[in-house]
Structure 1
Amino acid sequence: MARWEPGARERLVMAAVDLFTEQGYDATTVTQIAERAGVTKSTFFRHFPDKRELLVAGQETLSRLLAEGIAEAPPGASPLEAIAAGLERASNALGPANRELGPRLKAAVAASTELQERDALKSVSLAAAMTTALIARGVPDPTAALAGELGMLAFKRGYAEWSEGDPDTGDDLAPYTLAALKDLRAASAALS
């Protein structure tokens, strides 16, 4: 077991998702996750407070990237144009490992009520990050909240389509999230 081998955090996430899928969330222990990842139990706890937190690995970074993209959108950008800038910034940070993880994570979440609840909280948190960034731009609260929710839906839909697609194409996530936002924008226009 290499104590300081790089990539321990990523290996822990992959090991956990695989074990959650194979044997269920409740039956999986921290020790099993650490062993599968090739690290010690203490290394696990340096990265995560408990196994539940593995699901939201990278959430803070994703929230920050979404907010930065929104903040850096041109001054005259509409709320949804600013959301698109945030989606593009965050999407460009995700690569092949994230794509590979998608279907496995989806299966693990579908099999566990506790993980479904944690995933829902992650979605709320990401939408809140976008809403807060829009409010900082001067967008009124109800508009910012609606745009933040649409942004979260676009990210989830785009990520699902991207991660379930052919990984050999090498295509990036951003076009998927931006297309999903465009579709949601058109769908919301049809509501009136």
Structure 2
Amino acid sequence: MKILENFGWFVAESTQKLELSDSEQEAFLKGVKDALNNTGGPEDKQAAAMEVQQYLQSRFNGIMEKENEAFFAELKANPNIKQSPTGLYYEIIEEGDATRAGPEDSVKVHYKGTLVDGTEFDSSYKRGEPATFPVGGVVKGFGEGVQLVGAGGKVKLYIPGNLGYGPNPPRGSQIPPNGTLIFDVEMVEVNPDS
């Protein structure tokens, strides 16, 4: 029985982020009981599934928006963190040398990307080698951020969703729609030799 209790816990755990009210929890549990008892349920399962998907997306977007507002309010209060005219938040840890990349340049960087909750979604460090790419070939906030330091420099970027992947993050990634991206970036070289 404990294994089934655990199974139920894992299924329901994914709903915690929805912050369901008592009445919403009752409705959810009724749906679970109806399915287990093979009673009730939607007449048109396909239409109902699409409705549920749209509802959940809207609910998650609202929750994400509130979390992002609170997160960026904290950043604004930190005197070490600056905001660019586009809305990129950044903290320069080390300036590096005087040569900066421009929008048409390429860069070699080490970086670690995380979400607001600390979930790591990408890291050149874990791959064991820096990444090389054109400044204009990455999400807008990252491209803007790598232009802030020279070789040997380090910068921390806080990229709001509109300067990241927006509503369409890469399929299969842990990045939610309109998710805030946090990058620790170490500039290795501007315009590296091919």
Fold match by TM threshold 0.5: no
- Structure with greater Cα Rg: 2
TM-score bracket relative to the smaller structure: under 0.3
Q: Kindly indicate which of the two structures has a greater share of residues assigned to strand.
A: 2
TM-score (norm 2): 0.25
TM-score (norm 1): 0.26
Q: Kindly indicate which of the two structures has a greater share of residues assigned to helix.
A: 1
